[in-house]
Amino acid sequence: MSPWVRSASILARTIPSVASSIEIPTPDDWHVHLRDGPMLEAVVGYSARRFRHSMVMPNLVPPITDASAAVAYRNRILAAVPPSEHRELDPFTPWIVWYCSPAIDADELVTSHESGEAAAVKYYPAGATTNSDGGGTSLASFMTLFERMAEARIRLLVHAESTDPTIDIFDREEAFLTEELAPLCAAIPELGVTVEHVSTAAGVDFVAEHPQCAATVTPHHLARDRSDLLASGMKPDLYCKPVINSAADRERLVATVISGDPAFCLGTDSAPHPTTAKYGPTAKAGVFNAAYGLEVVADVFDRHDALAELANFVSRNGCAIYGVDPPEGTVELERASIDLERATHLTTSAGDEVVLFGDAEATRWRIRTPG
């Protein structure tokens, strides 16, 4: 067998007790990093195959902070979609997010949003994660911009993680929410906020307590916890920001999404990095899961006998949060009766290798998307 293909199960297989396939409306990915250049060309097909809307993060170098950069980026994304992934029904639609920075001109943002170009604004705490150097030192320093956004109904997407070095890494989501986001929500209750890649029980509670907030949840935060990251040898492929947290946090996230809570939707946070940037003295944060994220999420729901709720999490809740029409087409997910062969890596045209997260789950699922 090729080293790039795996068919052995890693996680325990569940005995299927109910129907072996389900059909769900075409899913959306409300948080994804598509990068640029050869990496964009290598990864965009995975997103285009599986998802309709993709909320594309702006942490390029330099970041997206104006209309011309956003439009040019969207055109590069669409040009990079392989012809085999073009769909008639529910075509792949990238939504470009602007990077919250003093460089944003609020009038230009509002005009661009009115014309359907600027999807939202993403706040990164400076230094919290990949390409966040140009991020903010506090939410409070952007109040004037946020007031304009609230008036214009432009959503704020937040990387909710404190960068205070005195706070334990596993407590940084809660610290940011309490110290930074709670005062902003109190000051501008009309501002729509998405807490991105929520990773803790504290994050779930925060969203429940703040009706102006919704949240994305990633496949990897639902399917792995910090013991997977650290207990049997440190796994750089599972290193991401916010860091994967405790089993109790993961269980709370799972309980929340399988309950169908409409404030929570899928955002894969698929974030490819070359293995050269993952394996070394320090690892870049990010998990590339656009290839098998849907299988991973289906597997989580299946193991909790909750496949009937999958469509709400991956296909419906996000449409309501972002005010878009529900999809027209459907996707079929079928449990495989034998382990399927799955690629474990991709290679870009620049020769970079990227590890595909979730290949173990993917051996158990066959997904059919409309042509």
Residues forming the site for ligand DOR (CB under 6 A): 33, 59, 129-130, 159, 240-241, 269, 271, 285-286
Do 34 and 47 meet the contact criterion of CB atoms below 8 Å apart? yes
**Residues at the interface with Zn ion (CB under 5 A):** 269
The helix (run of H) or strand (run of E) holding residue 215 is strand 213-217
Of residues 158 and 202, the one with the C-beta less far from ligand DOR: 158
Of residues 47 and 363, the one with the C-beta less far from Zn ion: 47
Q: What is the DSSP pairing of strand 5-6 with strand 342-343? A: antiparallel
How many CB atoms are closer than 10 A to CB 116? 8
Q: Which does 256 bind (CB under 5 to 8 A by kind): Zn ion, ligand DOR, none?
A: none
- Sheet with 93-99: list strands edge to edge: 29-32, 53-56, 93-99, 118-123, 155-158, 193-195, 213-217, 264-266
Burial 263-277 (b: 16+ CB within 10 A, else e): bbbbbbbbbbbbeeb
Of residues 269 and 302, the one with the C-beta less far from Zn ion: 269
In the complex, the smallest distance separating the C-beta of residue 131 from ligand DOR, rounded to whole angstroms, is: 6
In the complex, the smallest distance separating the C-beta of residue 137 from ligand DOR, rounded to whole angstroms, is: 17
Question: Which residue's CB comes closest to Zn ion?
Answer: 269
In the complex, the smallest distance separating the C-beta of residue 255 from Zn ion, rounded to whole angstroms, is: 23
- To the query of whether residue 168 is one of the catalytic residues in this protein, the response is no
The amino acid at 106: A
Of residues 145 and 271, the one with the C-beta less far from ligand DOR: 271
What is d(CA 188, CA 24) in angstroms, rounded to the nearest whole number? Answer: 36
Q: Which does 129 bind (CB under 5 to 8 A by kind): Zn ion, ligand DOR, none?
A: ligand DOR
Do 117 and 71 meet the contact criterion of CB atoms below 8 Å apart? yes
User: Tokens 């929520």 appear where?
Assistant: 198
In the complex, the smallest distance separating the C-beta of residue 207 from ligand DOR, rounded to whole angstroms, is: 18
Find the catalytic residue in 225, 261, 269, 302: 269
Q: Residues with catalytic annotation?
A: 269
